[in-house]
Amino acid sequence: MQTRRTLLHRGAIATGGAALALGPGSALAKPGRAAGYGPLVDDPGGLLDLPRGFRYRVVQDVEDRLSNGALVPGDFDGMVAVAGRRNNGVVLVRNHELRARDITATKAPVVGGKPFDPAAPGGTTAVEVGPDRKAARSYVTSSGTLNNCAGGGTPWGTWLTCEEDRTTGHGYVFEADPNNPDNELSRTPIRDMGYFSHEAVDIDPRTGIAYLTEDDFRGSQVPVDKEVPGGPGVLGITRSSFLFRYLPTNRAQRPGALQDGGKLQAMAVQARPQYNMDLGQTGERFQVVWVDVNPQEPHDDALAKGAARFQRLEGCHFVGGAFWFDDTSGGEKRYGQIFRLTPSGDPAGGGIDTLELFLESESREQVDAPDNLVITPWGDVWLAEDGDDGNRIIGITPGGKTYTFASNRLNDSEFAGPTFSPSGRTFFLNIQDPGHTFAIWGPFPRRNAGGQRAMGAAPPRHRWKPKVSAELREHAAKNDMSPYEAAAYERLGVALG
């Protein structure tokens, strides 16, 4: 097996340094669309293909050791970059999506001093990265959890790590503080944020409300007659995952405040109980309401109370007044959907939130299984894919155009943890297995809050937006559904009388 160091040795010979420069003389450009930053160039190091002019460095991998001499744990996943306290550096806080069966001779668990469950191998680590984009120090920030998949950063500089699990004693959100690592807070579940198969979370900095995605694999098999992965006539899976929000009692926005309790709610489409978001179409807008759910059984309670159903929710990011999230297998062809939720403000104001389907992928080339999601400092949506045929970082502009920023040469593993440094000058990214954390830099646009707000208000522009006839609109009105919902039923061959 070729290790990262073998590949980097080749790359260093080819490029003359450890930081691989994908510039004009480094490789032949791949054919592709002239969008985003242009076509990708082949990486002589065999890890990442990037556009011309961008460079990367491997910050850390599973062959390295933490500062205390312990092995770096495996299965890198969700991650955030926060400002460091020393030498103008950055601290990465990183998830490790580990279960007991994942631990091998070459894949170490997270070993901390104060584990939540000593038998559980998951948790989080931190890597201090200097201005030279090299690791200066690394250490455990939380331990004793399971399947730490995604999560989200907080406005006050901590990391909310989510257990994508639902076994006895596991299925919670924990708060890890890189400035106070492996402390009592890191081993205390935020129980009011719910016991379910958590995926990601992010917080509206204006209100302190946390929004959470669920990635639940429970579902039922149904006959599939349309052209979908697997072919016509096969059994498909219809799943139920929900979008939740947490209204914290303490809105102080400081470490530990979320532990002071709060209310958990699930999102529902107004006047449409148990609405299936697979029926939505690009550009369709929904008015949504929130229903209180039992935090100990939020999934079943949301289902019983008519919350809107998704397939499998994944990454999310709250920026520019909008909450973005994706469904990795949503949509008619199961290639994925990207949603935008625009809150009306504080719930006490009585406003109605708006949900919009921003993009539904129609092909693997366009977007294939979107997973972790981040809004760039200048406003584009960037998606980390988790598909079957190689994975990419896909960008979406406010104009609705998609482009490829990076391609994973280790095609048997997924990209994870996309995050930008506070300055916006460095993009950090993981490949899950074998674990690699990268720093990527180059001619990124400058940080632009106006661009992020523009993305939050941009109308979806998509060539597959359906045409709806006057007759179909009439049928939709008679059946108390939206025109796009009626169009979805028409494509499925359902008669509307």
> What average pLDDT does range 61-89 have in this prediction?
94
Least confident of 143-152, 370-379, 464-473: 464-473
Label residue 302 left, alpha or beta by phi (over 0 means left) and psi (-120 to 50 means alpha): alpha
Per domain, the residue ranges of the chain are 4-465, 470-497
Determine the pLDDT at residue 217. Answer: 74
Determine the pLDDT at residue 478. Answer: 62
Determine the pLDDT at residue 280. Answer: 79
For the entire predicted model, the pTM comes to 0.85
Q: Check: CB of residue 461 under 8 Å from CB of residue 398.
A: no
For the residues of 21-86, what is the DSSP string, one character each? EESTTTSPBPP--S-TT--EE--TTSSEEEETTEEEEEEEETTSB-TTSPBPBS-EEEEEEEE-SS
Determine the pLDDT at residue 495. Answer: 59
> Looking at the predicted structure, is the pLDDT value of residue 26 above 60?
no
> Looking at the predicted structure, is the pLDDT value of residue 33 above 80?
no
CA distances from 456 to 82, 284, 322, 436 (A): 23, 15, 5, 31
Determine the pLDDT at residue 179. Answer: 95
Q: What is the mean pLDDT of the chain?
A: 85
Determine the pLDDT at residue 345. Answer: 79
pLDDT band of 36, cuts 50, 70, 90: confident
> Architecture of 4-465 per CATH?
6 Propeller (2.120)
pLDDT in tens, 297-341: 999 999 999 999 999 999 999 999 999 999 999 988 889 999 999
Between 479 and 180, residue with greater pLDDT: 180
Determine the pLDDT at residue 496. Answer: 59
> What average pLDDT does range 7-21 have in this prediction?
37
Residues recorded for the chain:
497
Q: What angle do CA 356, 430, 82 make, to 5 degrees?
A: 75
Q: Check: CB of residue 189 under 8 Å from CB of residue 116.
A: yes
Determine the pLDDT at residue 202. Answer: 98
> What average pLDDT does range 130-148 have in this prediction?
97
> What average pLDDT does range 368-379 have in this prediction?
96
Determine the pLDDT at residue 348. Answer: 75
